[in-house]
Amino acid sequence: MSDTTDAKLVHLSNAIRDEARSLGFASFGVADIDLEAAGERLEQWLADGYHGAMSYMAAHGTRRYRPAELVPGTLRCLSFTVDYLPEPMQRLRDALDKPSAGYIARYALGRDYHRYIRRRLQALASRIAERIGPFGYRVFTDSAPVMEKPLAGKAGLGWIGKHTNVIDRSRGSWFFIGEIYTDLPLAADEPVADHCGSCTRCIEVCPTGAIVAPYVLDARRCISYLTIENRGDIPEPLRPLIGNRIFGCDDCQIFCPWNRFARESDHEAFKPRHGLDSTALETLFSWDEATWLSRTEGSALRRTGYEGWLRNLAVALGNAPTTDAVVGALEARRDFPSAMVRRHVAWALARHHRPGTN
């Protein structure tokens, strides 16, 4: 861009805000690239081993918190949010109270957000280029070593709550975050203050005690990690605590008082598909791999893999009330080829006082 006077940059920021809104983004903010404080916290978190087997969290070194090392020439990181809450909050609480149906984290009920948001960010960058000519940029959605939460915090989109999610005072925390790294020297926004105050609700309600201190999450205990990122067995002491959560967990958001301001998303893409918000555990467990592949096409549910899906369901079935349907579903998988699935099925059958095969 040849003319970078302050007035032009303010005008450009306003134009980006308008374009972002027209593309379905709920909020937009600009951060500078100084993430050293967040980087120090990350290094401590890694040193404490809280990332578990997510070695990729450590793999990129300083590039994660030095944006210009990841994309040379970066001067600013633009953050954007997209609301995804697909149904009223009360329905989420009702779903948790229904142990015979699987609870899936609400971000994963509809279409995979990665492509959806990336396309919109790309469209936004193209619109900016139409206005000002070619400029340097790269778009991200949870797809590279990017510190999206600290960046959103610096950009004034909310504060990082004690549960480690970003909270917007007017909308709660049910949103995805995407970024554009750019060489445009836009004015950085001001971060907002932390409004958690003396509240500790998320720490108290976390089923597995994964928030080990305010603002510190031990991923190894977090149900999202255990049911999605984790490729191995779920530790036995944690299995009874997982209840009916078969893919991720929303408890820290469901019970956060700031989410009383949460609005339902009007993005059709994030509405539940295939009745996944209320299907009986034994029905989900009976899906063969071809059915699972077809029902999870274009969905974030693919991340756990078919074996991981069955492992998670076996745990939930082990936690469900004993019925003929539950026991029958587990017995039908007693000799499943995967040893990991068999181990979880045996554990679940034992919970119903039935023998399994390891």
Given 32, 142, 194, 233, the catalytic residue: 142
Site membership for ligand SF4, residue 270 (CB under 6 A): no
Stretch that binds ligand SF4, among 82-90, 101-109, 125-133, 156-164 (CB under 6 A): 156-164
Report in angstroms how near the CB of residue 173 gets to ligand SF4 at its nearest: 8
Return the closest-CA partner of residue 330 out of 301, 307, 357.
Answer: 357
Binding track, positions 157-176, relative to ligand SF4; x by CB under 6 A = ----xxx-------------
Q: Which is nearer to ligand SF4, 137 or 159 (CB)?
A: 159
Q: Based on the residue annotation, tell me whether 142 is a catalytic residue of this protein.
A: yes
Q: How many residues bind ligand SF4 (CB under 6 A)?
A: 11
Contacts 24+ apart (CB under 8 A), 120-124: 120/23, 120/24, 120/25, 120/82, 120/178, 121/80, 121/178, 121/179, 121/180, 123/23, 124/16, 124/19, 124/20, 124/23, 124/25, 124/80, 124/180
Binding track, positions 240-269, relative to ligand SF4; x by CB under 6 A = ----------------xxx-----------
Q: How far is CA 36 from each of CA 40, 93, 186, rounded to the nearest angstrom?
A: 6, 38, 20
Between CA 160 and CA 173 the distance in angstroms is 10
Residues with Cβ within 8 Å of residue 259, at least 6 apart in sequence = 89, 172, 173, 174, 253
Q: Which is nearer to ligand SF4, 257 or 272 (CB)?
A: 257
Instruction: Let me know: does 247 contact 227? Beta carbons within 8 Å.
Output: yes
Q: Which is nearer to ligand SF4, 197 or 237 (CB)?
A: 197
Report in angstroms how near the CB of residue 161 gets to ligand SF4 at its nearest: 3
Pairing relation of β-strands 76-83 and 27-31? Answer: antiparallel
Site membership for ligand SF4, residue 199 (CB under 6 A): yes
Q: Which residue lies nearest ligand SF4, judged by its C-beta?
A: 161
The CA-CA-CA angle for residues 94, 100, 105, to 5°, reads 55
Site membership for ligand SF4, residue 196 (CB under 6 A): yes
Out of 201, 267, 333, 342, the only residue in the binding site for ligand SF4 (CB under 6 A) is 201
Q: Just list the catalytic residues.
A: 142
Which residues sit at the interface with ligand SF4, rule CB under 6 A? Answer: 161-163, 196, 199-202, 256-258
